[in-house]
């Protein structure tokens, strides 16, 4: 078997972006223009401003087109809410690439209503409108596996949320993601900020998207194809299967971890490693593997799943 993840085989170059951001159009503390300026000047290539799509904030889809430059772009989006999860709270669904005229759900505030769309219905409608849709911050939301399984339209799971790391120590989405991957749901994995700029919730998690141009349509198509990886700092430079081994190339790291379904996992530890390999025998009963690399400071980068 020989296989290379599409993030490393696709044409183009990597563009750094944040897919989950808030402004004064909902509960963030900075104006949209200033949010865009800060990400641009911190070296990001793109962001999606995803304010809360509820009536209390007039159902905002931020017009960020005026803040694009020849080296920085934006993708329109929103964080959608409708219908209760199993815990009785509203769904949080990240939708990147929404049209400006996306029809509001009946969500006047953050309280569920009996006549609302369900979360899965809202997610399906966003996908039909052209959006890249992700299950937002599963740990923070108290999402159950049954909740997650019901959201059939999602492209991705938010596996690291920097705002939830800083604000409540609930950043993780891997438990939910791995359950869905074990179900053979062909999902990808995103890291985000969920920045509100009311605490140190920014510049901590991002996606590196492989595309031929830093343009909204090209980036959105690459996200939907899975041509990206996620990071807190380290670079992934290649993930490939050759025969019965997985090989990775990365910036200098201290650990290389391969995870699969259930208890299937194996790691290599070292110093300033820039390449490493692991045999796949431990993963013979898993439909997928995914790769994590960890640098000496504990920062991580994550690949999308490799499917067998």
Secondary structure in 3-state letters for 146-170:
HHHHHCCCCCEEEEEEHHHHHHHCC
pLDDT recorded at residue 2: 87
Residue 11 host element (H or E) = none
Average pLDDT of span 149-153: 97
Fold of the CATH domain 7-231: TIM Barrel (3.20.20)
pLDDT recorded at residue 103: 97
What does the pLDDT look like over 53-99, one tens digit per residue? 999 999 999 999 999 999 999 999 999 999 999 999 999 999 999 99
Measured CA to CA in angstroms, residue 237 lies from 8, 60, 111, 181, 184 at distances of 7, 37, 44, 23, 26
What does the pLDDT look like over 278-289, one tens digit per residue? 999 999 999 999
Q: What is the DSSP string of 195-254?
A: B-SSSS-SSS-EEEEEESSSSHHHHHHHHHHT-EEEESSPPEEEEEEETTEEEEEEEEEE
pLDDT value at 52 more than 80: yes
pLDDT recorded at residue 47: 98
pLDDT value at 1 more than 90: no
CA distance linking residue 277 with residue 257, whole number of Å = 10
pLDDT value at 39 more than 80: yes
CA distance linking residue 46 with residue 71, whole number of Å = 9
User: Which is more confident, 115 or 1?
Assistant: 115
Q: What is the 3-state secondary structure (H, E, C) of 58-113?
A: CCCCCCCHHHCCCCCEECCEEEECCCECCCCCECCEEEECCCCCCCCCCCCCCCCC
- Residue pair 133/125 in contact (Cβ under 8 Å)? The answer is no
pLDDT value at 263 more than 80: yes
Q: Which residue has the tokens 């409108």?
A: 129
* Domains 7-231 and 236-307 are alike in CATH topology: no
Sign of CA dihedral 128, 79, 64, 156: negative
Domain ranges of the chain: 7-231, 236-307
Q: Mean pLDDT over all residues of the chain?
A: 97
Average pLDDT of span 285-303: 98
CATH classification (class only), 236-307:
mainly beta
Which pairing describes strands 46-47 and 73-74: parallel, antiparallel, or unpaired? parallel
pLDDT value at 34 more than 90: yes
């Amino acid at each position: 078997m020989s296989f290379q993840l599409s993030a490393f085989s696709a044409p183009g170059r990597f563009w750094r972006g944040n897919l989950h951001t808030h402004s004064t159009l909902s509960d963030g503390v900075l104006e949209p223009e200033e949010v865009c300026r800060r990400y641009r000047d911190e070296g990001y290539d793109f962001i999606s401003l995803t304010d809360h799509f509820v009536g209390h904030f007039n159902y905002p889809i931020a017009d960020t087109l005026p803040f694009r430059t020849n080296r920085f772009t934006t993708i329109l989006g929103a964080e959608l809410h409708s219908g209760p999860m199993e815990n009785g709270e509203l769904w949080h669904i990240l939708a990147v690439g929404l049209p400006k005229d996306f029809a509001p759900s009946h969500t006047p505030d953050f309280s569920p209503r009996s006549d609302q769309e369900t979360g899965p219905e809202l997610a399906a409608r966003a996908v039909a409108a052209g959006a890249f849709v992700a299950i937002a911050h599963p740990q923070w939301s108290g999402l159950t596996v049954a909740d997650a399984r019901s959201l059939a339209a999602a492209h991705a799971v938010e596996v690291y949320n920097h705002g939830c790391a800083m604000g409540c120590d609930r950043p993780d989405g891997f438990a939910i993601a791995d359950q869905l991957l074990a179900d053979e749901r062909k999902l990808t994995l995103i890291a985000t900020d969920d920045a509100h700029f009311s605490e140190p919730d920014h510049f901590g998690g991002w996606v590196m998207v492989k595309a031929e141009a830093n343009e909204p349509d090209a980036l959105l198509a690459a996200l939907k194809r899975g041509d990206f990886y996620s990071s807190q700092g380290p670079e992934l430079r290649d993930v490939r299967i050759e025969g019965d081994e997985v090989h990775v190339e990365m910036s200098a790291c201290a650990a290389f971890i391969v995870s699969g379904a259930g208890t299937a996992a194996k790691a290599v530890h070292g110093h300033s490693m820039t390449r490493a390999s692991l045999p796949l025998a431990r993963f013979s009963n898993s439909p997928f593997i995914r790769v994590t690399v960890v640098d000496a400071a504990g920062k991580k980068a994550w690949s999308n799943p490799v499917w067998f």
